[in-house]
Chain A
């Protein structure tokens, strides 16, 4: 990276870090329960509220946001297409199918077991998607996301049908529409596994950037392409599955955040990956705070909020003129 670009990215880094810190503090203070900051250390109840509800909720939003943005970025790298993300290309729907099947056959299964089943199903579903996506002609870039939508829709329909038959439709909406209001201490910690996946992604950032150049270029540079494909798939599947299991699916994060960061900073992931993670966290946490405030004291689920905000950003991305900086 050149000196000018490095300077710019360090400035952007400060802005992103500061925004996230402000939102973090703000999120701790916003909610229905009364939590006067001045009484935090004298009033045991206020401290309890902070530690049991507010802090876990805030951390969950950050972990899910960062994770989903990274999962989107990797999915786009693997599919070599900018318009796919786990929520629209079958990954999330496969994860839902996995949880549903576990719930049907092992109703007493733990959260960890459900997550494992969801991850395995997501891995299978995403592999099938990628195998097909790689066969589509690269001259038709919109075929891949279109196929993803149809594919995700078919799996989603199967999930709905199964849930209907088993009288689990209400239960299903817990996974299909993301919501942080149920997050309490002891119920979100699995998401730290997602953070681990983000760290792994950062370690292999150079390899991921090379993968985006295509199979031939990757092999030419001595990359084990097949193994990297498996690793990428695992990261995407685990992050998506954990999000679905713990808070439910949140759309658009994986789509808009990597696209915006790519426009601003390019695709060298060694440099951009931290920004993708931070921006994802900012977007999801911001939407969650907004959702808590709009109809105060009631809440709008973050999945719904993100559907609106993310959809608008995506339209803006599509309609604005492509920049050639």
Chain B
């Protein structure tokens, strides 16, 4: 369980997050949505201890993220951020194998190799395993990064806008893979998404932020209504239901 209590964050004079409290139960996919600058990525990076906590408390499985040793947290939660510039020439298999680092600190056992192979397979990377990452397309690269996070074998997986730069096919593939590991491996996934319909189709719960505050929180079918969406994004949009999934027609 991720428990966020009264978390605030400011950068200089700008208040990024206002007194956020949120509890994310174990298991399932929680999508963080909201307009640009709402504080979604900041909240995610606070959970992942990538920046210091200024006010409030965050615990993951009871461990305080700002007081638990980094290497212990790395076995509980994995974070994937948008590192737009990839300067390292690593092969896909090498990158994924670094997901095992928190466990063996660099020493790989046969069990580690099995997990690496499984991660490669899970994200359809077996054929690309010996390619250098810089030679891959954006979608393949993104999958390699997710596979590394998966190989970390943490209960919690935090992903910051993983669908950026992905075309429809790979975006769908990635979301389906995430759904699968949530269902089959019991992972808890917190994901920042811009595509509200991906959130509607794949998430169990949507948390909407606006100007550093939580403005809506609930299951997709409850949350994706014209009225709530207007409150979040500031304009009116039609919502249709197709096969029990709400579809937001935000592009018209």
Separation of A143 and B81 alpha carbons in the complex (Å): 24
Separation of A45 and B105 alpha carbons in the complex (Å): 52
* Contact B79 A216, beta carbon cutoff 8 Å: yes
Q: Does A36 contact B (CB under 8 A)?
A: no
Q: Does B35 contact A (CB under 8 A)?
A: no
1/0 per position for B70-114, CB-CB distance to A under 8 A?
111111001111011101111101100011011001100000000
B135: chain A residues at CB < 8 Å are 324-325
Separation of A264 and B45 alpha carbons in the complex (Å): 36
* Contact B88 A212, beta carbon cutoff 8 Å: yes
* Contact A4 B94, beta carbon cutoff 8 Å: no
* Contact B49 A219, beta carbon cutoff 8 Å: yes
* Contact A216 B94, beta carbon cutoff 8 Å: no
Separation of A8 and B70 alpha carbons in the complex (Å): 36
Separation of A140 and B97 alpha carbons in the complex (Å): 30
1/0 per position for B123-160, CB-CB distance to A under 8 A?
00000011010110000000000000100100000000
Most buried by A among B73, B91, B94, B152: B94
**Quick one: given A5-B130, A216-B83, A325-B135, are A221 and B152 in contact (CB under 8 Å)?**
yes
Q: Does B50 contact A (CB under 8 A)?
A: yes
1/0 per position for A185-208, CB-CB distance to B under 8 A?
000000000000000000000110
Q: Does B224 contact A (CB under 8 A)?
A: no
- Which of B72, B78, B88 lies in contact with A213, CB distance below 8 A? B88
* Contact B102 A221, beta carbon cutoff 8 Å: yes
* Contact B101 A5, beta carbon cutoff 8 Å: no
B72 to chain A, nearest CB (A): 8
Q: Does B48 contact A (CB under 8 A)?
A: yes
Separation of A217 and B48 alpha carbons in the complex (Å): 11
A83 to chain B, nearest CB (A): 11
Which of chain B's residues has its CB closest to A325's CB? Answer: B132
* Contact A220 B48, beta carbon cutoff 8 Å: yes
- Which of A207, A222, A224, A268 lies in contact with B94, CB distance below 8 A? A268
B88: chain A residues at CB < 8 Å are 209, 212-213, 267
B101: chain A residues at CB < 8 Å are 206, 210, 221-223
- Which of A207, A215, A220, A268 lies in contact with B90, CB distance below 8 A? A268
B134: chain A residues at CB < 8 Å are 324
* Contact B87 A80, beta carbon cutoff 8 Å: yes
* Contact B98 A219, beta carbon cutoff 8 Å: no
B102: chain A residues at CB < 8 Å are 221-222
Separation of A138 and B84 alpha carbons in the complex (Å): 9
A212: chain B residues at CB < 8 Å are 87-88
Separation of A2 and B97 alpha carbons in the complex (Å): 12
Binding site for B on A (CB under 8 A): 1-2, 4-5, 80-82, 138-139, 206-207, 209-210, 212-217, 219-224, 262-263, 266-268, 270, 324-325
Contact sample, A vs B, 16 pairs, CB 8 Å cutoff: A1-B94, A2-B91, A82-B87, A206-B101, A206-B105, A216-B45, A216-B79, A219-B70, A220-B81, A221-B74, A221-B99, A221-B101, A221-B102, A223-B70, A223-B101, A270-B106
Q: Which 6 A-B pairs have the closest CB atoms?
A: A222-B74, A206-B106, A222-B71, A222-B102, A220-B79, A266-B89
